[in-house]
Amino acid sequence: MFEEKLLEPHFTSVLAPYMLDVVEQKRALGNKYNAGVEALSAFDDFCNEQQLRIPAISKELLQKWEKKRPHENETTQCFRISYVRILCKYLHSNGYDAPCAFHPAPHVNKCFVPYIFTKDEIERLFSAVDCTKESSESPLRHLVMPVLFRLLYTCGLRVSEALHLKVADVDLDAGVLAIYGAKGDKERLVGISDSMLTYMKSYRSNPLVANAKSIYFFPAPDGGFYDTSTIYDIFRKCLFDAGIPHRGRGKGPRLHDLRHSFAVHILNKWSSEGKDIYTCLPILRTALGHDRITTTEKYLRLVPEAYMEVTEPFNERFHTITEVLCNEE
């Protein structure tokens, strides 16, 4: 059912033949490896910038590559490092100089506490997004942004997944999104709520959108897809207009926190309906596209005050135990 096009590698550095070998090996095992192609392409450009002349990766070169960049989050940093480490191991196994191939990767602090929007903040944010102005440079922006931001929240999408959605990937009759080439080259189907579906149908029926010459569901002014940085800039402005303060770098709210908020809010909803949360977790895992159920389980303990409704049903059950422990102390 899913036939995502493989990215064609275009490497030009002295390491190009070896990068191609790595990609071919991974694809021979059944992996699309599109994410690997993207990461290795960036490293290929880096090698050219560093004027690498021999097929070897020195400790100094690797340290420069692994260094955290301005405005780069820890996940992106780990992403860059991991794929080049695979290349290092390949070079080492073929007799080339890659002394750091099996050295421990640098420690990257990936611990963070996401910002969970309250329902009131979500409403205020959407109201601010609805005030997006039309401009001659971006004639569809005022139509795109209200739908895009609501889709990020109501379907728990990663922003890259939403921006790369094509018209052909959205089935408005069945109410289903087909997500291709997501994190880890995963593919999945995501259901759309009735209210969101109505919103999306209205958006697509607008003549300006319907007549846009683009394959993308959210077409940028050039007919391609929007850059994530553009969406983030709009997000920050809307936060300000909505009276939601930004707490500083690494503390949010981040654009990705709309996805986190979706997960926590849906857990709250299921709990209030009396559903067994752990029975429902596999459903949420599938919707979010997580590899492991343990990743989804983290939403149960990320921000305790944000999901009080989930833990409240257990308070009465363990109330007596809590009293005994308190008395013993």
What are the structural domain ranges in the chain? Answer: 16-93, 112-168+209-329
pLDDT at 109: 55
pLDDT at 108: 55
pLDDT at 321: 37
The CATH number of 112-168+209-329 is 1.10.443
pLDDT at 267: 87
pLDDT at 152: 96
pLDDT at 301: 64
- pLDDT tens string, the chain, 329 residues long: the values are 344 578 899 999 999 999 999 999 999 988 888 888 999 999 999 999 999 998 888 888 888 998 888 777 777 888 888 899 889 888 888 887 776 656 655 555 555 678 889 999 999 999 999 999 888 889 999 999 999 999 999 999 999 999 999 999 999 999 999 998 777 667 889 999 999 999 999 999 999 999 998 999 999 999 999 998 899 999 999 999 999 998 776 677 999 999 999 998 888 888 778 888 778 888 888 888 887 877 787 777 654 444 454 455 544 444 443 333 333 33
pLDDT at 103: 61
For 33, left (φ over 0), alpha (ψ -120 to 50), or beta?
left
Query: Residue 100 class from Cβ within 10 Å (0-12 exposed, 13-18 middle, 19+ buried)?
Result: buried
CA dist 158 → 70, 196, 239, 313 (Å): 21, 17, 18, 31
pLDDT at 69: 82
pLDDT at 312: 53
